[in-house]
Structure 1
Amino acid sequence: MADSAHSATEAAHAAFDLLPVVVLLVAAVVAVPLFRRLGLGSVLGYLAAGLIVGPYGIGFFQDPQAIIHVAELGVVLFLFIIGLEMQPSRLWSMRGEIFGLGLVQVVLAIFALIWVGILLGYPVAASFVAGTGFVLTSTAIVMQMLTERGQIAQPKGRRMVSILLFEDLSIVPLLALVAFLAPGGAEATVADRLLGVGIGLAAIVALVLAGRYLLDPMFRLLARFGAREVMTAAALLVVLGAAELMLLGGLSMAMGAFLAGVLLSESTFRHQLEADIEPFRGLLLGLFFLGVGMALDLQVIAANWAIIAISVPAFMGLKMAVIYGVARLFRARHLEAVERSVLMAQGGEFAFVLYAAATQAGILLPEWNATLTAIVIISMVLTPLLVIGMDRMARAPAPSMDGVDGVEALEPGQDAVLVIGYGRVGQIASQPLLARGHRLSIIDNDTDMIRAAGEFGAKVFYGDGTRLDVLHAAGADRAALIVVAVDRREDASRIVELLKHEFPLVPVLARAFDRGHALELVSKGVDFQIRETFESALVLGRAAVLHLGASDAEADEVLEEIRARDRNRFALQQVEGIYGGRDLLLGNARQSAQGN
């Protein structure tokens, strides 16, 4: 009896071993927050964790390539989510960047990087494959870093995404070129090549037709009759099915997922799909970086350290130079060109595919493949460090003063008003003053906004309101009234403190960020403050109760009760010295519930 129980336990353990999963989770949970705390980013944390638990660290895992193959689905899911944000019209508007900027960068980078291998004495075909593989940037690393930096939706981020999309497309002709360069590859018939191209195009057409006519009806049907988990399963089915279809057509899985996302970008289920996919995307992408860290073969590095020590800076340096030159050719600013060249300096995951195909075709020897793989992985590891160095060395550029005037002093008078900050609030607050004929002197420290305001006829002077000398130069002592409407709460507090200390007789009205900030401004002596969302939120609430059947008089009465209750709470919190935080929130909740 005991033996059979023991056998059953052993069989259960043999069937599924949880230890590797636990080790991966512990490595990620410990390393990533630590590296982010140190300012090194999550990508480097995953890579370091993978190296520690991999075959050349503690040794929990001996086959990192198996993990990488599974975790490549993280890149696939990432491209699907990017596709969801790219409506067909928006993608069409990017065609110039994809097939112009992307094509020029890829072609010039291939030409430049070929010479690394040739100068090191390798055959031309092997040098071509080595350089071409390094041209293909890591989509996973660049996308992750763009997301962490909040740049993926910005124009400069969009341009990098365009280049990455072209590189994904280029893997198909590059693999065909590898087959052509293989010994005996030139003997392949034209018909075979045309057949491959035709299969790829057929796969794209099939995916487009399915996306146009099948996907939205399918999700509508599932939303009506399916359970919540079935919708999640359907979302994964769409992504993985599209990836598999593209793979069968000789294209990349990432491209299939991206096209599926684009086709669903105008679907009513877009946001639900994104929410369903996001957790899987994050986990698998982290697993991919862990796998890359594990795959860093320290024995290969030790045996070929001289070649690697020359090749890594040569490949990265030449690629960065080409990227910078192409960026400037397409009229990117210097800082954007530098940032793009640093973020895209590494080789990518598609290099592994290209090198494996070249090794199978006889272009690369197995030891060359191992060395090149190590070079690509080291470049991936170095990229986050380069980005950190770039950020620390970068200095905020001096704002261009073209078309911008320095501060001018106000002429004294009862109608003289100084407005500090001309953003969303400052622009609106200025309108009643202008309508009443008051003389306004407006200062702001955003030169782009100043030039934009000038195009609409508004005269805004350049000046930093947190500096006392600027306030004197702007004529704060001569103003009948000062309006503080800057965006940053710290700046607003500093300006109010300076104004009430230096010009105590001048009334100061200020925009407050929230309730705690309003209490802080009052403590600094501001004559009037208003929370930036308070009145607009009350107007929204008034509209809501009107839609639900209240009369105008009833709605106004409710709003006046809320204002009165808010004034009472505000006065009480001034006495108690509560300027924000948990006690303030709980106090508001209690008083709201009690209705006083």
Structure 2
Amino acid sequence: MEHGSTLLRDAVVYLAAVVVLVPLFVRFKLGAVLGYLAAGILIGPSVSGLVGNAEQTLQFAEFGIVLLLFVIGLELQPSRLWALRRDIFGLGLAQVLLCGLGLTGLLLLLTSFTWEAALVVGLPLGLSSTALVMQLLNERHMAATAFGERSFSMLLFQDLAIVPLLTVVGALSRAPVANPEPGWVMVAKTVGALAFLVAVGRFVLPRLFRIIGTLGAREAFVAAALLSVLGSALLMASLGLSMALGAFVAGVMLAESPYRHALETDIEPFRGLMLGLFFIAIGMSLDLSVVVANWGLVLALVVGVMAVKTASIAALARSFGTDWRRAVQMGLLLAQGGEFGFVLFAEAERGLLISHSAAQMFGAVVTCSMALTPLLFRLATRWLEPASDAGRRDGPESAGTADHGGHVVLVGSGRVGQVIAQMLRARGVGITAIDMDAELIDITARFGNTVFWGDGTRLDILRNAGIASASALVFAIDGQWDPKPVLAPIMAEWPDLPIIARAYDRTHSIALRQAGLDQVTRETLESAVAMGRNVLAALGTPETMIDAIEAEYRRRDLERLDLQVISGDMMTGADIIIRGALDLSTAPDPAALGEIPPA
């Protein structure tokens, strides 16, 4: 019971610090990440001591990075990943080697380390913080740009480099090991684990989500989403590999599945909370006594590390075709030490290569560099990116093709939605189709069409489907649905977005119109009018008279609908309904049009 009350008290302290500091930092445009770090420093052992055991909190909060990499993987289709291979394996490899070796040389100059100790510290310092960088890019809506993709390519290779770096630390270790594991065994484990994750993500998980989606069990779907993330992380952790890398591979394998948007929506709340807790734990782990005792060396190391990494990354990015302003900006964005540095420093300490105080000091260097990055990146964005270049994209070209008619989010892919989709494709319009029917999704996939699973009336699903950049939103849902709770938040957040809706019947059409929609189509109206025309033609009615009858019916129907929308009474305008033969003597005589050739 006492443990439970302590845990509850710690949770209250965490939340209180976040609620107070994060909005304050956001208000002064310092960024949420810096607010989380400040909250961790404030409540940590070095300042107030309200919460202790930063290492345990950090181990738990690392799941925030796991969830982040899974979400990133969901947004990167394998074809997109293949398009970035030059940046991942070319620029990423060059960055890890150049920064790691450059910092090794810096440590040899500033410290009394042996070359082995300098190497096992310099290589980890060459890594950057995936969690911090991606959070900063997402805050500024830059993750999907070429700048963001090039930055992420380097981060992804750094995750791949964890295994070789652990191998280097193990090879240089001075600690006696009973049964040392050869490096090739660890590499074989890595390849085997990745192959297994690819197979499971490609063949097993989509079928699992299809079964759960067919049953409509929302809680089970959320549980399955978390299971896929944590299961992949557990597999990699059991082999001593990067949990985040396993989650990323699982995400990439599900990126082309129809459940991508629903998965991203359900994971997002957990990701946000856990990532915030991770940054708090980083702030808590900062030992101010070590910083104060070695403030001169810590300051020199922070400045030296960030300067070496900024210069190296900027030079590499420039050599890969990035504009020099963006190259410097990229260098400052990736100049900090990374979260995996804590892991590698601990391994180096266990290997008797560095002392405990040295591990603490370099942990402080990483934390300080992470705290400085949001400020430096914000200044770099202001100074180095002119307003005219704000939207410029450099580096690798986008793998997708530009659509001629923009992008449309289509909710409902049944009988009506499929017709709409074909007409939009004929215009070259990009479509993101959403439907709740898993069986329908499988059927449309056989015809080469992609439909994503999810509830398209939920704002969070629509947001992940790209409604913010859409040219139009189309509701082609079968049956009646309450428009007010669905449309009100959409129209409030995107007031200029055109919304076209399918109405089940006249009553539903009135409800949609009263909710604020102007473009509403009753699903049976056009087919009924077409059938009426066919019947009239079968009775020998002249074409011009059929046109006149249709025009008169539409005029009366629209007039009555307007009156019903205003009054809210279905009986309003009942006297306008056609109840007998109309006087169509004013209709043009079809014989008088004989000299005009048919269209």
C-alpha distance in 2, partners of 1:389/1:371? Answer: 27
C-alpha distance in 2, partners of 1:167/1:554? Answer: 70
C-alpha distance in 1, partners of 2:567/2:375? Answer: 50
Contact 1:182 1:362 in 2 (8 A): yes
- Choose 246-255 or 379-388, whichever is displaced more: 246-255
Partner residue of 1:254 out of 224, 235, 244: 244
C-alpha distance in 2, partners of 1:114/1:232? Answer: 45
Partner AA of 2:358 in structure 1 = W
For residues 17-46 of structure 1, the C-alpha deviation after alignment (integer angstroms, 9 at most, x for no partner) is: 421111111111111111111010000010
Partner residue of 2:265 out of 267, 272, 275: 275
The equivalent residue for 1:506 is none
Give matches, 1:69-148, under 5 Å: 69-120=59-110, 121-148=112-139
Deviation at 1:364, TM superposition (A): 1.1
C-alpha distance in 2, partners of 1:89/1:538? Answer: 38
Q: Secondary structure at the match of 2:47?
A: coil
* 1:392 paired to 2:382: yes
Deviation at 1:543, TM superposition (A): 7.9
Contact 1:239 1:260 in 2 (8 A): yes
Contact 1:202 1:249 in 2 (8 A): no
Contact 2:64 2:272 in 1 (8 A): yes
The equivalent residue for 2:318 is 328
Alignment CA distance shift 1:212-1:399 (3 Å)? closer
Q: How many residues align?
A: 438
Deviation at 1:187, TM superposition (A): 12
C-alpha distance in 2, partners of 1:542/1:177? Answer: 66
Alignment CA distance shift 1:376-1:534 (3 Å)? closer
Alignment CA distance shift 1:399-1:307 (3 Å)? closer
Give matches, 1:284-323, under 5 Å: 284-323=274-313
For residues 256-290 of structure 1, the C-alpha deviation after alignment (integer angstroms, 9 at most, x for no partner) is: 00000011111121111111111100000000011
**CA RMSD of the aligned region, Å?**
3.4
The equivalent residue for 1:41 is 31
Partner residue of 1:157 out of 141, 148, 153: 148
Alignment CA distance shift 1:205-1:533 (3 Å)? closer
- Choose 212-221 or 539-548, whichever is displaced more: 539-548
C-alpha distance in 2, partners of 1:37/1:558? Answer: 55
C-alpha distance in 1, partners of 2:261/2:171? Answer: 44
Contact 2:175 2:352 in 1 (8 A): no
C-alpha distance in 1, partners of 2:553/2:97? Answer: 66
Give matches, 1:459-470, under 5 Å: none
- Choose 101-110 or 142-151, whichever is displaced more: 101-110
Deviation at 1:167, TM superposition (A): 0.3
The equivalent residue for 1:220 is 210
Deviation at 1:593, TM superposition (A): 5.2
C-alpha distance in 2, partners of 1:161/1:380? Answer: 17
Partner residue of 1:338 out of 328, 332, 338: 328
Q: Which runs of 5+ in 1 are unaligned?
A: 1-10, 401-423, 426-513, 519-530, 566-588
The equivalent residue for 1:6 is none
C-alpha distance in 2, partners of 1:290/1:558? Answer: 65
Partner AA of 2:136 in structure 1 = M
* 1:171 paired to 2:150: no
Alignment CA distance shift 1:224-1:326 (3 Å)? same
Give matches, 1:495-514, under 5 Å: none
The equivalent residue for 1:182 is 173
* 1:20 paired to 2:10: yes
Contact 2:212 2:220 in 1 (8 A): yes
Partner residue of 1:541 out of 497, 505, 520: 520
C-alpha distance in 1, partners of 2:298/2:12? Answer: 34
Q: Secondary structure at the match of 2:119?
A: helix
Partner residue of 1:358 out of 328, 332, 348: 348
Alignment CA distance shift 1:54-1:542 (3 Å)? same
Deviation at 1:251, TM superposition (A): 2.1
What percent of counterpart residues are identical?
A: 43
* 1:242 paired to 2:232: yes
The equivalent residue for 2:443 is none
Contact 1:78 1:281 in 2 (8 A): yes
Contact 1:199 1:250 in 2 (8 A): no
Deviation at 1:108, TM superposition (A): 1.1
Deviation at 1:541, TM superposition (A): 2.9
Q: Secondary structure at the match of 2:79?
A: helix
* 1:233 paired to 2:251: no
Alignment CA distance shift 1:539-1:590 (3 Å)? closer
Partner residue of 1:376 out of 348, 356, 366: 366
- Choose 221-230 or 542-551, whichever is displaced more: 542-551
Give matches, 1:385-424, under 5 Å: 385-394=375-384, 396=386
Give matches, 1:52-63, under 5 Å: 52-63=42-53
C-alpha distance in 1, partners of 2:556/2:102? Answer: 71
Alignment CA distance shift 1:173-1:535 (3 Å)? closer
Partner AA of 1:390 in structure 2 = A
Contact 2:175 2:350 in 1 (8 A): no
Partner AA of 1:164 in structure 2 = L
Alignment CA distance shift 1:592-1:97 (3 Å)? farther
For residues 518-567 of structure 1, the C-alpha deviation after alignment (integer angstroms, 9 at most, x for no partner) is: 9xxxxxxxxxxxx88499998953485656756675896489659989xx
Q: TM-score, normalised by structure 2?
A: 0.67
- Choose 385-394 or 68-77, whichever is displaced more: 385-394
Q: Secondary structure at the match of 1:18?
A: helix
For residues 323-369 of structure 1, the C-alpha deviation after alignment (integer angstroms, 9 at most, x for no partner) is: 10001100101221122111111001010111111110111111110
Q: Which runs of 5+ in 2 are unaligned?
A: 391-403, 406-490, 502-515, 531-549, 573-599
Deviation at 1:388, TM superposition (A): 2.3
Partner AA of 2:275 in structure 1 = L
The equivalent residue for 1:207 is 197
Q: TM-score, normalised by structure 1?
A: 0.67
C-alpha distance in 2, partners of 1:28/1:14? Answer: 21
Alignment CA distance shift 1:49-1:535 (3 Å)? closer
Q: Secondary structure at the match of 1:286?
A: helix
For residues 472-514 of structure 1, the C-alpha deviation after alignment (integer angstroms, 9 at most, x for no partner) is: xxxxxxxxxxxxxxxxxxxxxxxxxxxxxxxxxxxxxxxxxx9
Contact 1:97 1:163 in 2 (8 A): yes
Deviation at 1:58, TM superposition (A): 1.7
Contact 1:200 1:250 in 2 (8 A): no
Contact 2:232 2:247 in 1 (8 A): yes
Q: Secondary structure at the match of 1:313?
A: helix
Deviation at 1:116, TM superposition (A): 1.4
Partner AA of 2:120 in structure 1 = V
